[in-house]
Structure 1
Amino acid sequence: MIRQETESDIKESKVQENLAKWQSTTDPLAPLSEEQMDLVYEMGDLVSSMYTNPEENTEHATEVETLEKPEYPPVIHKMQDYIQWMIAAEKDIKQENLKQYQIYSEQLKKHQCNSQQLFDHTNSALEYLIQLKNQYENVTEKTNHLHLLSELLMANQRTLKEKKQSLNSKLKHFTNFTKCQESIERMGNRLNNEECIKVLDEIDESISYLNDHLHYKESRIYKMKYESLLNNILNKIYDYVNTILVETMKQVVDPDSKTHILPQTPSVTESLVDSAFSLYYGKFQSVSIKIRFILNSLEEREDHNEQYKNILSDCQKTYLTQRLPIMSIAVSKALAELKEKHRVDHSKLFRSCSLFTMKICQDEAMCYNYFFTKPSTQLNDYLGTLCQHLYDTLRPNLIMINHIEVLSELCGILKSELLHEKVLDNDQLLKFIQVIQQLLQDVEERLVFRSNVFFQHDLLGYKPSPGDLAYPEKLEQMENIALELRDRRSDSRNSVVSLESQEVAHINAAQMAHFRSYTGNSPADLHGMWYPTVKRTLVCLSRLYFCLDRNTFQGLAQEALVHCISTVKTAADLIASRKTPVDGQLFQIKHLLIIREQIAPFQVDFTAKETSLDFSTVQKAALELYSHRSNIFTFNSNNALLEFLLEGTPKVKEYLVDSRKEIDKQLKHSCEEFISHATRILVGNILQWIEKAEHILRIIRAESSPSQELTVSSQNFGRPRTVASIIQEAQKNMKSRIPEIQRSMQLYLSNRETEFILFRPIKNNAINAFLQLDQILLTGGYSSEDQLLIACPSPEQVNILICSVSLVGGQDGQKAVV
């Protein structure tokens, strides 16, 4: 016991020690934050306040008086007291929680009582409803029976009405005949109204119905009656329309009237034009109101019956027949006045006559639309008759036109001004378009014919004048003029000149630049300095390109270029005979370059297909016939005459001729001739000596045992002094003639690239000539002393010589450095 007390004391002291260390400042067992400490203190104050006597606490005295008396917890000294207090607290809590459920239970009991009462009332209401339902079913059954009887009666009544209506609708087509006949007689000439349209509708309906029900009694008879009645009213309509049109035309064609003038006639004044327009079209427009309504109704019924189509066609024919005489006379008269007014200017004549006719077609179509809404073939034929006057007026003038410029201008007018998109899309101008297209074909045909005549007379038959062949004088003169203009412009920069002189200088420079081609800056590039046949050919092709179709233009262009090249070749030969071959060759090269450059923009193929007869088989067959002449009259398979007829027929060959390639071929040939001629001018004697020396060397090689005496050096032409003189003469020619050749190339071509291309093979040929000469000297039996005497220059030395004597492009381009 003492031991237990001792252990308990130890534990208590240990607990007290731990409690002392619980919140120690140095090493606490369970450190608390300031916030936690504040909560602990608050709990301590709360507990102390619960066990404090309210009478001693003066601060809360007022609060206790206002509230109910609180139940303070009992003072607990033992564990058992605490447990008892806990059990009592739990009971109080349980009672407190069950209080709301007890209240709810009492409410449920009240609701149950009310529900029972409601259920009793509902049962009594259901009994009343069952009784009411039985009574309703009885009444409904009786009502349905009565309703069925009523519906049956109404259905019988409806059936009877339908049968009555069906009989009336069928009998209507038989009984309405008299009514329609009386209506037609009553209308008389008042046909342009709704009553007439209504009668036509009834007649059409009756005819259509009777036609579908021919099995009815007397349906065929009444159908014939209705058709006769329709024919009668349509004839009345036609007579009515015809009478109005004839009276209107009599008002227009009044012999006492002085205003018989066609509208839009160029020779009348504006007032007369207005009066003529109102006369020819205004009267018809005003009178169209009287018959337009009935005519439109006929057009709507055109597809219903053939009679409508015939009567409408007759009305259209009457209208066009009435207008054709006066319009035909007036149009021909107006075209004659235009022809007389523009008898000199064909372009204005074609343009004014065509525009006038087009306006007439539009006005006539507009006047036709006053009466009719649908187009017809008769209207097209009528407009075609009016447009034929245009063709008859212009065709004689077209045959008399010989100038290609005028014909090409007419092609442009007809294509661009009269056949543009708006005209082609206009259905009213179909006949006008056909006439214009026919005129265009005639103009193109005339243009092709005159082009062929132009090629024969103005190209092949051209005889050049001395001024046309004055080369290079013309070029030198133009170059001097250009130099003077340039000097004047340079002087004007250094001195004060007037504004007018500057403008003149600018205009001259612009004109010079405008007429230059793209091949160079030579005076020959000026359009006015071209050879006439070249200028004529290119101008002609430029006009034909926009007028003719591709195939026709290709054929004419091929023929024109062939003739043009031929005339250039002829002129080059004449210039070569007059001056020097170099001038003729450069003239030909320059103009071939111009032709090739100017035809490049044409987007066509200059290839033409030509045919020819091959008579080579005829000659062969004739020889066979002659060699087998003994078998001419034999009757077997070896008959010589029969073989001649079968094998001796000439063959037709087709081949393509390309003008572009022909120009390139001719240009290449001319350049080769120029290069060859220039080479002969520079080293001609050396080339002749090389030919002789090579001939001797071939003889030496051909001999089986060559003789040592037969060498090039042993020949008279091969002596060292002779060879040396030839070389010296060639060097002298290169020094004197190379600047002349280059000067001519600059004058004709004036294009560094072209000059370089032409001069490079000349230079190479000269170098190769000296190279061949040097090789022959090595194998021709010449000693070293002979070679020193001959002093043949090396290729490098020849190149240096040629470069040293070539023209240097200075300011004037005419100085040479030797």
Structure 2
Amino acid sequence: MATASLPKSEAVSKGYNFASTWEQNAPLTEQQKAAILALSNAVAERPFPPNLSQEQVPGKDSNLSIATKDSTSEDTGGMDAVLVNTHQFYKWFTDLESAMKYETEEKYRLYVNTLMERIQICDGILQQVDDTLNLFSELQSLHQTVATKTKTLHDACDRLLIEKQRLIEFAEALRSKLNYFDELENVSTSFYSPNMNIGSEQFLPLLKRLDDCISYVESNPQYAESGVYLVKFRQLQSRALGMIRSHVLSVLKGASSQVQTAIRGSGSNKTTVSEGVEASVIYVRFKAAASELKPLLGEIESRSTRKEYAQIVTECHRLYCEQRLSLVKSILHQRISEFARKEALPSLTRSGCAYLMQVCQLEHQLFDHFFPSSSRDVSNLAPLIDPMCTYLYDTLRPKLIHEANLDSLCELVDILKIEVLGEQLSRRGESLAGLRPTLQRILADIHERLTFCARTHIREEIANYRPSDVDLDYPAKLERSIETTSDTTVDDNSDVFRTWYQPLEKTVSCLSKLYHCLEPAVFTGLAQEAVEFCSISIQNASKSIAKRSTPMDGQLFLIKHLLILREQIAPFDIEFSVTHKELDFSHLLEHLRRILRGQASLFDWSRSTSLARTLSPRVLESQIDAKKELEKNLKATCEEFIMSVTKLVVDPMLSFVTKVTAVKVALSSGNQDQKLDSVLAKPLKNQAFAAPDKVAELVQKVGTAIEQELPKVMTKMKLYLRNPSTRTILFKPIKTNIVEAHLQLQTLLKSEYSVDEMEIVGMVPIQDLQAQLDNIL
């Protein structure tokens, strides 16, 4: 920037000097210098206002000069002005400020002028828009008028179309309904045509169309003459079903005729058909008829929900069973008759049931070829199966009635209950379910016969058993058994039943056979009766043995057999108790006597002595438990045996103690006469019966019995009671009683006798006595 030389004044000099000193002391960095240069260039390039020209204003008081650049100058782009005083500066600054203000206002003034011009343009456009909107409103009004008229026209057309469609649908519905009625003539013509037969392709479709017509007329009885049409349709249906029945019968008869011809051609007749011919001819050849009837039978089975078709299906079942029965019946009779001639009743039952199940299974398979949908219901084969089962039943029943052997009857129960009903019928499935009622009927007859024979057996062989001398030959029978066992090497249990009393053996054998063969309720009654009669029979035999041998043999015989009976009936899981009910008319005689004496009226219904109450019997109930009675008898017999053995050994001691006790009681009562009192007043040892030597004698007698009699008792116990634990249990109270008798006598001696006198008596110490008794056991 070029500047004019300034006059040298003191203020300016100071300013320049200060600036020079500042420049020297605080030099600017290159970056700061570059920033100042850039700022200077930016300021220098800013133009002066156009109304401000480059001029110089002289002043008096100021030596300041400022150089400016005119924006119109080409060389420097500005002008230089020198301000020499404050007035010039203020004037210059005012002009500069006015120029800047003018410059700023000029920009906004131009913008305002532009806006005003734009507003005028927009006002013109708005006026045009208003005119356009008015035209559009008129156009919209005209369009709405046209649309309303068009919609009215369209609605009228739609109503006409709907009405047309409704009329068309009504006409079609009317035609479809009339078609069912019009079909009467078409179907009648077809069914009565001479060319119509069951094998025709048109038969089944016509039958289906006829069914549809009948269903429609039945569901719409409100139509005119629907009843008349229904009758006519049903007549045609009956004719069609009759044709089906005749055709099925004709085919079945034809098949039967072919089978019979094949049988005759094989050189056999109906009574001598071999098993090979039976399988190949009667079943295999008969299946050919199924291929001809299967489509027709399948069609009528599919419609069996309707009553008339269900009836024709049932009729076809019946016709089929009749034709099959005519072929199979004679062969079945032949086979079962052969079994009956050659085999015993158990083998006949097993073979007859097996053959009958085989025939029934083959018949069910053949029936399934003809009627696949009906074969699941085995009752449809009842007209065929029942006659065959009846023949087997009629063959078995006479033999069952005459069968009295319990083993054979029990075997029959096992065959039917386990083999036939339990295994074979369950394994072969529901195809043999039709046999179950007959087999159960046969089983019920066997149960009835078995129950009757069992009651007869119990009554005759147990209750009314008459023992022989051999049966009552105890203990010799047991001794012979022991000798036989010792001479042979056979196990001890091989002949154990030979030592049993016959009614006991028959009771156990009978119950063992019946346990799994009869119903629990029936078996319980029989078991109670058998145990009761067996116990009574054993007791009667015991009394006879006591008379023939010794009372002890009778007691041990009874104990032995009651123990065996209790042991043998223990595995039976039943209650051996039954309740007997009976009518009691004993009170009738007293009531009648009161009526005859006039004390009561026969027709007084309000009193307890009325006719109804008088003639009403009383129901008396009594419960009998054979097992409890057995336990009671066993316990009483054991107690009786224990007391008898105790008395056999220590009876002198017991008598002595009893007598001493009686003397002491008499002394304490004070009711004796003087003579008796003088006798009893003596000390016990001075009494004649209680002298030490007398007591020693009875002690020696008891000792001898222990040494001699008690071993004999134990030998006999071993003979009757083979189980050591049983003998131990039975001997334990005997030992206790013997020891107790010695203790009582010892206590009495200690209280009444001196030591020397007790030595004379010679009582055995209790410990030695117990050891002696243990050795005997």
Closer, same or farther in 2 for the Cα pair 1:331/1:188, shift >3 Å? farther
Match of 1:251 in 2: 258
> Are the aligned partners of 2:256 and 2:327 in contact in 1 as well (CA < 8 Å)?
no
Query: After superposition, what is the alpha-carbon deviation per residue over 1:744-781, rounded to whole angstroms, capped at 9, x for unaligned?
Result: 334433444332221121111112223333455577xx
Q: 1:656 and 2:623 equivalent?
A: yes
Q: CA deviation at 1:432?
A: 1.9
Query: After superposition, what is the alpha-carbon deviation per residue over 1:242-281, rounded to whole angstroms, capped at 9, x for unaligned?
Result: 222223333334595566667xx9x87xxx3232233322
> Are the aligned partners of 1:260 and 1:276 in contact in 2 as well (CA < 8 Å)?
no
Query: After superposition, what is the alpha-carbon deviation per residue over 1:188-233, rounded to whole angstroms, capped at 9, x for unaligned?
Result: 4641465222111111111222223333344333222222211222
Higher relative contact order (CA 8 A, sep 6+): 1
**5 Å matches for 1:523-542?**
526-542=496-512
Q: CA deviation at 1:355?
A: 1.8
> Are the aligned partners of 1:328 and 1:386 in contact in 2 as well (CA < 8 Å)?
yes
For residues 587 and 758 of structure 1, the distance between their equivalents in structure 2, rounded to whole angstroms, comes to 14
> Are the aligned partners of 2:378 and 2:433 in contact in 1 as well (CA < 8 Å)?
no
Pick one of 170, 193, 198 that aligns with 2:205.
198
Match of 2:728 in 1: 756
For residues 706 and 38 of structure 2, the distance between their equivalents in structure 1, rounded to whole angstroms, comes to 144
Match of 1:566 in 2: 536
Match of 1:359 in 2: 358
Match of 2:598 in 1: 635
For residues 226 and 544 of structure 1, the distance between their equivalents in structure 2, rounded to whole angstroms, comes to 66
Pick one of 640, 643, 656 that aligns with 1:673.
640
Q: CA deviation at 1:656?
A: 1.8
The range that moved more, 151-160 or 294-303, is: 151-160
**5 Å matches for 1:787-798?**
787-788=757-758, 791=761, 793=763, 797-798=765-766
> Are the aligned partners of 1:607 and 1:657 in contact in 2 as well (CA < 8 Å)?
yes
Match of 2:738 in 1: 766
Gaps spanning 5+ residues in structure 2: where? 1-22, 40-138, 603-607
**5 Å matches for 1:304-703?**
304=306, 306-342=307-343, 345-372=344-371, 373-374=373-374, 375=377, 379-420=381-422, 423=425, 426-465=429-468, 467-473=470-476, 475-476=478-479, 512=492, 515=493, 526-611=496-581, 634-636=597-599, 653-703=620-670
Closer, same or farther in 2 for the Cα pair 1:634/1:155, shift >3 Å? closer
Match of 1:812 in 2: none
> Are the aligned partners of 2:657 and 2:744 in contact in 1 as well (CA < 8 Å)?
yes
> Are the aligned partners of 1:682 and 1:738 in contact in 2 as well (CA < 8 Å)?
yes
Q: 1:722 and 2:722 equivalent?
A: no
Structure 1 counterpart of 2:721, one-letter code: L
> Are the aligned partners of 1:592 and 1:663 in contact in 2 as well (CA < 8 Å)?
yes
Pick one of 754, 757, 768 that aligns with 1:800.
768
Q: CA deviation at 1:637?
A: 6.1
Structure 2 counterpart of 1:352, one-letter code: S
Structure 2 counterpart of 1:171, one-letter code: L
Q: CA RMSD in A?
A: 4.5
Pick one of 256, 275, 278 that aligns with 2:280.
278
For residues 476 and 24 of structure 2, the distance between their equivalents in structure 1, rounded to whole angstroms, comes to 153
Q: CA deviation at 1:734?
A: 0.5
Structure 2 counterpart of 1:784, one-letter code: S
For residues 738 and 208 of structure 1, the distance between their equivalents in structure 2, rounded to whole angstroms, comes to 104
Structure 2 counterpart of 1:447, one-letter code: L
For residues 705 and 88 of structure 1, the distance between their equivalents in structure 2, rounded to whole angstroms, comes to 172
Structure 1 counterpart of 2:705, one-letter code: N
> Are the aligned partners of 1:261 and 1:330 in contact in 2 as well (CA < 8 Å)?
no
For residues 740 and 87 of structure 1, the distance between their equivalents in structure 2, rounded to whole angstroms, comes to 154
Structure 2 counterpart of 1:290, one-letter code: E
For residues 319 and 326 of structure 2, the distance between their equivalents in structure 1, rounded to whole angstroms, comes to 12
Closer, same or farther in 2 for the Cα pair 1:637/1:144, shift >3 Å? closer
Match of 2:298 in 1: 296
Structure 2 counterpart of 1:635, one-letter code: G
Q: Could you say what secondary structure the match of 2:640 adopts?
A: helix
Q: Which has the larger radius of gyration?
A: 2
Q: CA deviation at 1:238?
A: 1.6
For residues 237 and 704 of structure 2, the distance between their equivalents in structure 1, rounded to whole angstroms, comes to 115
For residues 586 and 732 of structure 2, the distance between their equivalents in structure 1, rounded to whole angstroms, comes to 44
Closer, same or farther in 2 for the Cα pair 1:187/1:532, shift >3 Å? farther
Q: CA deviation at 1:469?
A: 4.4
> Are the aligned partners of 1:612 and 1:652 in contact in 2 as well (CA < 8 Å)?
yes
> Are the aligned partners of 2:739 and 2:769 in contact in 1 as well (CA < 8 Å)?
no
Query: After superposition, what is the alpha-carbon deviation per residue over 1:300-342, rounded to whole angstroms, capped at 9, x for unaligned?
Result: 22332x3333333333332233333443333233211110011
Closer, same or farther in 2 for the Cα pair 1:632/1:775, shift >3 Å? farther
> Are the aligned partners of 2:576 and 2:626 in contact in 1 as well (CA < 8 Å)?
yes
Residue identity (%): 30
**5 Å matches for 1:733-748?**
733-748=705-720
**5 Å matches for 1:33-112?**
84=29, 87=32
Q: 1:174 and 2:181 equivalent?
A: yes
TM-score, reference length from structure 2: 0.71
Match of 1:816 in 2: none
Gaps spanning 5+ residues in structure 1: where? 1-77, 95-133, 486-504, 517-522, 626-630, 810-818
Closer, same or farther in 2 for the Cα pair 1:383/1:527, shift >3 Å? same
For residues 481 and 765 of structure 1, the distance between their equivalents in structure 2, rounded to whole angstroms, comes to 37
Closer, same or farther in 2 for the Cα pair 1:651/1:694, shift >3 Å? farther
Closer, same or farther in 2 for the Cα pair 1:206/1:87, shift >3 Å? same
> Are the aligned partners of 1:419 and 1:433 in contact in 2 as well (CA < 8 Å)?
yes
> Are the aligned partners of 2:294 and 2:369 in contact in 1 as well (CA < 8 Å)?
yes
Q: CA deviation at 1:651?
A: 6.2
Q: CA deviation at 1:565?
A: 1.7
Structure 1 counterpart of 2:771, one-letter code: C
Structure 1 counterpart of 2:186, one-letter code: K
Structure 2 counterpart of 1:340, one-letter code: R
Structure 2 counterpart of 1:440, one-letter code: L
> Are the aligned partners of 2:471 and 2:502 in contact in 1 as well (CA < 8 Å)?
yes
Query: After superposition, what is the alpha-carbon deviation per residue over 1:327-366, rounded to whole angstroms, capped at 9, x for unaligned?
Result: 3333233211110011xx2211111112222222233333
For residues 599 and 370 of structure 2, the distance between their equivalents in structure 1, rounded to whole angstroms, comes to 84
Query: After superposition, what is the alpha-carbon deviation per residue over 1:456-499, rounded to whole angstroms, capped at 9, x for unaligned?
Result: 222233344555445445555655676677xxxxxxxxxxxxxx
The range that moved more, 214-223 or 143-152, is: 143-152
> Are the aligned partners of 2:346 and 2:408 in contact in 1 as well (CA < 8 Å)?
yes
Closer, same or farther in 2 for the Cα pair 1:539/1:635, shift >3 Å? closer
Q: CA deviation at 1:649?
A: 11
Match of 1:24 in 2: none
> Are the aligned partners of 1:675 and 1:761 in contact in 2 as well (CA < 8 Å)?
yes
Match of 1:36 in 2: none
Q: CA deviation at 1:398?
A: 0.5
Closer, same or farther in 2 for the Cα pair 1:613/1:689, shift >3 Å? farther
Match of 2:229 in 1: 222
Closer, same or farther in 2 for the Cα pair 1:352/1:638, shift >3 Å? closer
Query: After superposition, what is the alpha-carbon deviation per residue over 1:9-64, rounded to whole angstroms, capped at 9, x for unaligned?
Result: xxxxxxxxxxxxxxxxxxxxxxxxxxxxxxxxxxxxxxxxxxxxxxxxxxxxxxxx
Structure 1 counterpart of 2:338, one-letter code: E
> Are the aligned partners of 2:652 and 2:698 in contact in 1 as well (CA < 8 Å)?
yes
TM-score, reference length from structure 1: 0.68
Q: CA deviation at 1:731?
A: 0.7
Structure 2 counterpart of 1:308, one-letter code: Y
Query: After superposition, what is the alpha-carbon deviation per residue over 1:565-596, rounded to whole angstroms, capped at 9, x for unaligned?
Result: 22322333444444443333233223222222
> Are the aligned partners of 1:253 and 1:260 in contact in 2 as well (CA < 8 Å)?
no
